[in-house]
Every structure is written in structure tokens, then in C-alpha cells.
Amino acid sequence: MKYLLCFLLLISASSGQAATLLVLGDSLSAAYGMEAEKGWVNIFQKKCDNDCQIINGSVSGETTAGGLARLPALLREHRPDYVLIELGGNDGLRGYSIATMSKNLRKIIELSRKHQSKPLLFSMQIPANYGKRYTERFRQAYPKLAAQQQIPLIPFIFEDIMLQPEMVMQDGIHPTEAAQPLIAEKMMDQLLPILNGTQAADIQAK
């Protein structure tokens, strides 16, 4: 089924070529602490084979401001069909303003649309020791923004993974190499149906 969905991405690209997905993320998508080929993004690409192209524009330590600054060049170079926005975790870990973070994410969404790319927002979470009020406001920022912008929201898939000691690095934040295949599997479960469903809706609207 997953390979069928990945094949459907192929026919969704307006050029008739494999659809492209730009992952604009931080260390969770940048294969932090391991070789790039061991990360979930590369595993995702291998499972899709030639039916979809995944471009990893992720940088460890990246913030929403940094991602916003880098995005124009990435959009011009790759012209992706979709942009997965996996940012905000480092904003939260550094205690940055949630209003500013949300503003940056909104600008990333708007910029993606301006370049004819469909934005997808990944819901981030931070440890509870940042205080109940800040942590809850941070968590709520993602579904609120996704609803306002009417874009798909990818749920935070790391909760179960972070409960398994062998899946988490000693810092208690970053997933290990052993966790990457599971992350890729969960990402495929979330992304492929959404991408296919989004394209189907567009076709029906024409």
C-alpha cells in the first residue's frame, strides 16, 4: 500500500516527473550524531525509490528564523511540490517567544505557497520541565497555525520512541540510529496518505 501511495506521488507532479518533498527541519531530520544515510529522510527516500524525491534541507540546531532565512534559496534551487516544516523545537528549547516562532512559521508557509509549493506542518513538542504554561502554549501553537492556514498537520510521532531507552541518545532529546527506520515508517504512514489526499482534492476541484 505504501508503495502504491508513493507511486501516486509520481503522477501528482505537474511536470509528470517524480514529486519532490523538501524537508525543512532541525536535528531530528538532519541525522544528528550519525551518517546522513542512516537518517530517516534517507531511509524514506530509499523506500520511495524513484517514485518520489526527498530533499533534505535540515540543519542541526536550526530555528524557525534560520529556516525562514534559508528557505528562499532552497525553493529556487529545488522547486519542490511540497515542503515539510519540521521546525520550532530549538525555539522552544531556548525559550524563545512563541508569538515570534508562530510568525516565522507562518512566513515559511506563505513563502512556500508563493513558490507554488504545498506546505505541511510537523507538530513539535518540548520537555515538560520548561514549565506547564510555556509548554502548553508551545504545543497549541502548531494545531492553531495549521487550522488558520488550512494545511495538513503531521502529529508528533516521537512520544512512543522516546520511551524506549535504546531509541534515545544520552541527551534525552535526540533519537538514535536504531530509531531511524521506525521514524521513517511513521513518517511514511503520515505523509504519503496526506500528500495523495491533498492532490486528489486538487484534482476534484479542477
171 among known catalytic residues = yes
Grid cell digits, residue 158: 516521537
Helix axes 98-114, 132-149, angle to 10 degrees: 20
Grid cell digits, residue 118: 504545498
27 among known catalytic residues = yes
Q: Which residue in 12, 58, 123, 174 is the catalytic one?
A: 174
**Which run of H or of E encompasses 153?**
strand 153-154
How far apart, in Å, do the first and last CA atoms of the chain sit? 26
174 among known catalytic residues = yes
Classify residue 36 by its DSSP letter.
G
The answer to whether 12 and 195 have CB atoms below 8 angstroms apart is yes
State how far the Cα of 162 lies from the Cα of 18, in Å rounded to an integer: 33
Q: Which residue in 12, 26, 27, 91 is the catalytic one?
A: 27
Residue 76: count other Cβ atoms within 10 Å of its Cβ.
9
What does R_g of the chain's alpha carbons equal in angstroms?
16
Residue 176: count other Cβ atoms within 10 Å of its Cβ.
18
Phi, psi for 79 (deg, rounded to 5): 45, 60
State how far the Cα of 83 lies from the Cα of 73, in Å rounded to an integer: 13
The residues annotated as belonging to the active site are 27, 171, 174
